Amino acid sequence: MDERLTISTHEADRGSAQAADRFRAVAGDKGLVDVAVGTVGSPVGELLVAVTARGLAAISFEGEDRDRVLDRLARELSPRVLMAARPTDDVRRELDEYFRGARRRFDLRLDRRLMSPFAKDVLGATARVPFGRLATYGEIAGRIGRPRAARAVGAALGANPIPIVVPCHRVIGAGGNLTGYGGGLPRKELLLRLEGSLPSE
């Protein structure tokens, strides 16, 4: 009797993958997803973007462990985290425009819940460094009234949950050295070239 009751694993996997995709779309449209996660292709690799009702909460770079990214979103925002493209459409559109040189400033609402109070100050000051300009870690420290905290500023920038849109890549060392970047120095260089702050190759 048992083999007469089999459902092939392949069949169930294929059918359930389609059903799950339909579910993701419906759940997003019904507003049941607290953290919608989508992917955005870019010259610095595929980005994972996370959007809540408050706005854009996180961007992570290709190569970061996707499960760990989703785990953190579930832990710190809500367990109702789902891959749902539609709620991330605005973010995708603005990033696309930025990467093809048609946008210099993002108009996205931000969800800052993944930032500590200190990081909120640091990243707030960083967000005011315009496209095509640079600031040093010390300058950012000075602008938030903590002139001796350049090192802590560097750490807060390194942990920026919303890179690119909060432009931590525009903050460099006092000697003009790029110093470091959460997504790796090659990405920082590429972003600064794109903005004309470094000579293009």
Partner 1 sequence: MSRRLPPFEGFLEANRTTVFRYLTAAVGPIDADDVFQETFLAALRAYPRCTEADRLDRWILRIASRKAIDHHRGVARRPIPVAAPPERPTEVDPGANGFGPAVAAVRDLPARQRDAVAYRHILGFTVADTASLMGCSEEAVRASAYQGLRKLKEQELKERAIWTND
Q: What x/- string results for residues 74 through 113 when contact with partner 1 is judged by CB under 8 A?
A: xx--xxxxxx------------------------------
Question: Which lies closer to partner 1 via its Cβ, residue 21 or residue 97?
Answer: 21
Q: Kindly report the CA angle at 42 between 38 and 47, in degrees rounded to 5?
A: 35
Is residue 53 a contact residue for partner 1 (CB under 8 A)?
no
Nearest to 42 by CA among 70, 56, 55, 61: 61
Nearest to 125 by CA among 107, 94, 108, 150: 150
- Decide: helix, strand or coil at residue 89: helix
Catalytic status, residue 96? no
Q: Which of residues 130-149 bind partner 1 (CB under 8 A)?
A: none
* DSSP letter (8 states) at residue 178: -
Is residue 2 a contact residue for partner 1 (CB under 8 A)?
yes
Please report where in the chains the tokens 């009702």 appear, as a residue. 53
CB of 22 to partner 1, least distance (A): 7
Question: Which lies closer to partner 1 via its Cβ, residue 82 or residue 150?
Answer: 82
CB of 25 to partner 1, least distance (A): 10
Active site positions, annotated: 168
